[in-house]
Amino acid sequence: MSQLESDLAGPIEDAGSTVLHVDEAPGSVVGEPDPSVDSLVNAPTIATPAPVAGSGEVVLAVEAPWYIKNFDSSIVGCPVVSQTGTAVPTGFADQVISIGVANGVTIVKR
C-alpha cells in the first residue's frame, strides 16, 4: 500500500489498491506476461485447400478487378467462379471467360 499523503479532506478508505512507481517508463506499467497464455508465434494456420480440377474440368479464377470476389456467369449448371478458384466443366470454361470479359471481369484458367 502507498504511503503518499492525500489532498482530500478526511480519512481515505483502503480499497485494496496499490500505486506502482515505474521510473524508467513513466505513465505505463509493463508487467510479466501471463504464463497460461500460449504463444502465437509459429502457431499453425488453417487455410482452405486449393481447388483441384477433376476429369473433364478446369479451374477458373477471378483475377481482376480486385474487389470482385465471385462471378456468376448465369449459365445453367455452371458454378459461381471465385477469386480463389473454382472447378468448372470444360464445356463452360470458354463461355464463362467470354461472359466475364463482356462484364469487365478478367477470368483466368489455372
For the segment 41-90, what is each residue's pLDDT rounded down to a tens digit?
Answer: 766 777 888 889 989 999 999 999 999 999 999 999 999 999 999 999 99
- Residue 49: the pLDDT is 84
> Over the stretch 73-83, which tens digit does the pLDDT of each residue have?
999 999 999 99
For residue 65, whether the previous peptide bond is cis, meaning omega lies within 30 degrees of 0, is: yes
Q: What is the distance between the alpha carbons of residues 18 and 21, in angstroms, rounded to a whole number?
A: 10
The predicted pLDDT at position 1 comes to 55
pLDDT for 92 equals: 94
Are 96 and 75 within 8 A, CB to CB? yes
Q: What was the pLDDT predicted at 48?
A: 80
